[in-house]
Chain A
Amino acid sequence: MSAEEEAMEAISKRLGERAQECRIAAPRRICVLVRCGSHRDAISALLERFEFTTISTITGVDLGEDIELNYHLWCGRTEVTVKTRLPKIRPDVETVTDILPGAALYEREAFELLGVRFLGHPGLKRLVLPDSWPEGQYPLRRDWKPEIAGLEFPQEADSVAIGAEGENRGSTVNVVFGPQHPALHEPERFLFKLDGEIVVDVEPRLGYAHRGIEKGAEKLMFFQATHLIERICGICNVAHATCFCQAVESLGGIEVPPRASYLRTIVHELNRLHSHLLLLGVAGMEIGFETLFQYSWRDREMVLDLTEKATGNRIMAEYNAIGGVRRDLDPIVGEEMKKVLSGIKRRAAFYKKLLGEDPTFGLRTRGIGVLKAAEALRLSVVGPVARGSGIKMDVRRHDPYAAYGEIPFEEVAYGEGDSWARFMVRLDEIAQSVDIVNYAIEKLPSGPYRARVPRRVPEGEALGRVEAPRGELVHYVKSDGTAYPQRVKVRSPTLANIMSFREMIRGCYVADIPAVLASLDPCFSCTDRMAFLDVKSGMKWFWSLEEIKRRRLGKP
């Protein structure tokens, strides 16, 4: 029995008649439509059957009369989408946070953007929109327009205390960390409850870099949206573009030429290399090891030069397109890549030795910010954070895409679960990425590097998954048969990981906050994606493409 059939059997056995529709949408993708209210049973059936079940995200789609909730679950070898539909006039649904705590943030997101009320959720609050956003305005509903929100609403400061007034007595103090802070490279706010120098609790607040990309993508044609999607994040832009293109390709049944798959893999790995080297430097910076920062950023510069030679751009690669890639790889550049990357591999080995032996680095990272494997699974963390806790979870391996199915590589995992293990995972992955790129350059198939694709995409829905440098990245794309997507949903790895920060940091010292946070490699622009906000006037508005063009030409 294949993995897909096994998962389908698990659900239909438990639900029987209540599973209304059950189909294999694509290899390793199952779609199950369950009757309203039965989604909890379906999810718990999967949790019982498959030990390593994690939740990727919850996508809400406005279907007009109904709101459809898609629970995307990864069950070890297949991605199961459990669908349920709620009437829009009364969108109440039971929470799944009690059986799957990792879903808490996704439920909050669906709550504020689509107005779904999750009954029994422990803290159903806003996640990315401001606290003073008007009640009853749900930006991702299809009938919502920026005009009806009322463009002005009062701006209030976010709360400055965790818990009720009475709890904050004695030696506990509440300290706000961010949105502007030297340890954070992007705006984000953390509210810490401290007892002396010990962290008791933390509450992250997202949304300071929200740009409305999900909503904006609905206004663009698929091929245009690729460019917008790429701008979700500067560091892992290649991962976002690859993920989106793959989702659209699987939707349209587009066959990507093998050469394009290999080229995608190469640039994707270069992207990972630069991201991991960047993080290593940031880690050095956070714990006051500035020499490490300077060294690893210098190495990163070499990777950026290679990226520029291969794609034409240093950071925003603009390399992926629906149906393939934009540029071919010059064999001379390929040779240079191999040469430079072997140097990077030597550096990675040197850093690994250094960080393994250096006493001060060890004092600041070993045994600090521990996330146990069971806890990591419960919170559905992804990427190097999960692998640092000993959970082997790598989309490249378990759900191969691009050319990863044909390239041999070892999955890295460390069992310690502390900050040190998370940094070590990334160092090992640097060496491994070099090997992957070398292999891909040597085995690069000949042929075209891009297929011609129609603008219209057939009706349907697809889920793209890639292993971004920070972990599993999920894009859900739904098309209604036109050239415009009906819904694009992005779940960045940081959103999956940010919940675990609370588990890691409790009981640590204040001085550990930056180091532990860096070990998560948080990327907040990935996580926030909506709306312009002028805090002074409290104005919030969306810009159409025409307006942006007009403004760029200097004609207000």
Chain B
Amino acid sequence: MILDTRFFFRVLVFPGFLFLFSFTLFCDWFERKVMARMQNRMGPSYAGPFGILQPFADWVKLLTKEDIVPEGAGGLALAIAPIISFSLLVLSMLYFPLDGANAFSNEGFEGDLLLVLALVTFANFLLFLLGWSSSNPYSGIGAVRIMTQFVGYDIPLTILSLGPAFLAGSLSLSRIASVQKVPFALVIPWVFAFFLLALQAELEEDPFDTPHAETEIAAGYWTELTGRKLAFVRFSEDLQVVFGAVLAADLFLGGPYGPAFELGHGLPIVWFVLKALFIIFMLEFVEAVCARLRIDQVVRTNWKLMVPLSLLSLALVTFCIPFVQSATGGA
């Protein structure tokens, strides 16, 4: 087999690994800065211009720290879970049509929406395993809370992400993005709103950040992590936020395609980045104005509110499809 340099460039550099790495760090900085300004603080401001290098500095610092394994902790699970969960998230990111095509320079396949959702679920399950195997009661409780929350909110999230898929008539990420002449966020705004709320829970941000409620269970499932493991788990968390933002941008905001017209070569990625940042801003805004719910309230919100609402909105979407398609002349 001949080594395809273009393939390797796309997977490893752009829009693959290196780009995702720097974009994630940038999003982390953006998140921290936005949050800080909302809270009347400065936020990162020393490393690089406007502190933009702070997340990278933190990451490097963590890599150099001592790696401590607590006594009685499940060695193998503890060692590989951060890496695997990180890898699964990166893999799922490669399927997004970041610059019009995905990292494997094709249009993806019918059903890659379900694939990326499944990969992220696996990544979260690994975090549970991580907390469970680190022999610390705080980690244990945090892990159980992740599982409780995740199992619950995965359902409305999947159901709601089917809304755009129905409208587009496809389960392919790039197809859903490309059919949006008018962003689906404007066509089916209620689905978009609920999707963001479910995403907030999925990403464990306020008001749903019970799995790492500092004042109750210290740092939750990562209480016992240090050094490289902590660096990778923290990075996975950031990557998960990026994943959520990119998913929402792809499904509801038209992904790499501009609102009205197509931009030239190379520019689709700019649209994607801007849209993802917009989503992150929305998520952070909700986080800034909310207090944390209790785990029982989180679960109740899910089963009593989110699941019925998501089913109802999906039914409404199904009902709307013919009108929308005739109005937008879409798929």
Contact = CB atoms under 8 A, between A and B. Distances in A.
A306 B210 CA distance: 38
A188 interface: no
Contact of B213 (A288, A292, A295, A298): A288
B41 A364 contact: no
Given A364-B293, A509-B294, A294 B215 contact: no
Interface string B312-326: 000000000000000
Interface stretch (B116-124, B234-242, B253-261, B284-292): B284-292
A514 B40 contact: no
Interface string A276-308: 000000001111111110110010000000000
Contacts of B288: 290-291
A298 B40 contact: yes
A197 B294 CA distance: 11
Given A288-B206, A360-B290, A363-B293, A182 B218 contact: yes
B38 interface: yes
B225 to A, nearest CB: 16
A288 B215 CA distance: 8
B310 to A, nearest CB: 20
A291 B38 contact: yes
Contacts of B41: 294
Nearest to A518: B215
Contact of B290 (A183, A289, A509, A510): A289
Interface of B: 38-41, 137, 206-207, 209-210, 213-216, 218, 288-297
A292 B294 CA distance: 18
A183 B296 contact: no
A1 B215 CA distance: 53
B200 to A, nearest CB: 12
A424 B288 CA distance: 21
B40 A183 contact: no
Given A289-B206, A364-B293, A510-B216, 17 more contacts: A175-B137, A182-B218, A285-B215, A286-B215, A287-B292, A288-B214, A288-B290, A290-B206, A291-B38, A298-B40, A358-B289, A360-B290, A363-B293, A363-B294, A363-B297, A511-B294, A513-B216
B39 A294 contact: yes
A361 to B, nearest CB: 5
Nearest to B292: A288
A181 interface: yes
Contacts of A288: 206-207, 209, 213-215, 290-292
B215 A514 contact: yes
Contacts of A511: 210, 213, 216, 294-295
A4 interface: no
A291 B285 CA distance: 11
Contact of B216 (A183, A291, A358, A363): A183
Contacts, number: 72
A360 B291 contact: yes
Interface in A492-522: 509-514
A514 B218 CA distance: 12
B294 A295 contact: no
For the complex of A and B, 6 pairs with smallest distance between CB atoms? A288-B292, A289-B291, A183-B215, A294-B39, A360-B291, A511-B294
A70 B213 CA distance: 45
A512 B40 contact: no
Interface of A: 175, 181-183, 197, 284-292, 294-295, 298, 358, 360-361, 363-364, 509-514
Contacts of B216: 183, 510-511, 513-514
Contact of B291 (A175, A181, A182, A287): A287
A360 B295 contact: no
18 contacts: A175-B137, A182-B215, A182-B218, A183-B216, A287-B215, A288-B206, A288-B207, A288-B215, A294-B39, A295-B39, A358-B289, A363-B293, A363-B297, A364-B294, A509-B296, A510-B216, A511-B216, A514-B215
Contacts of A287: 215, 291-292
A287 B216 CA distance: 9
A16 to B, nearest CB: 56
Nearest to B290: A360
B193 to A, nearest CB: 16
Nearest to B296: A509
Nearest to A289: B291
Contacts of A510: 216
A358 B291 contact: yes
A489 B296 CA distance: 45
A438 B297 CA distance: 43
Contacts of A286: 215
A361 B290 CA distance: 8
Given A288-B209, A511-B216, A514-B216, A360 B292 contact: yes
A285 B210 CA distance: 13
Given A181-B218, A183-B216, A298-B40, A291 B295 contact: no
A295 B38 CA distance: 10
A294 B290 contact: no
A513 B214 CA distance: 13
A512 B291 CA distance: 13
A361 B291 contact: yes
Contacts of B206: 288-290
Contacts of B297: 363
A185 to B, nearest CB: 11
A45 B137 CA distance: 51
A227 B39 CA distance: 37
A291 B288 CA distance: 6
A197 B292 contact: no
A183 B294 CA distance: 15
Contacts of B38: 291
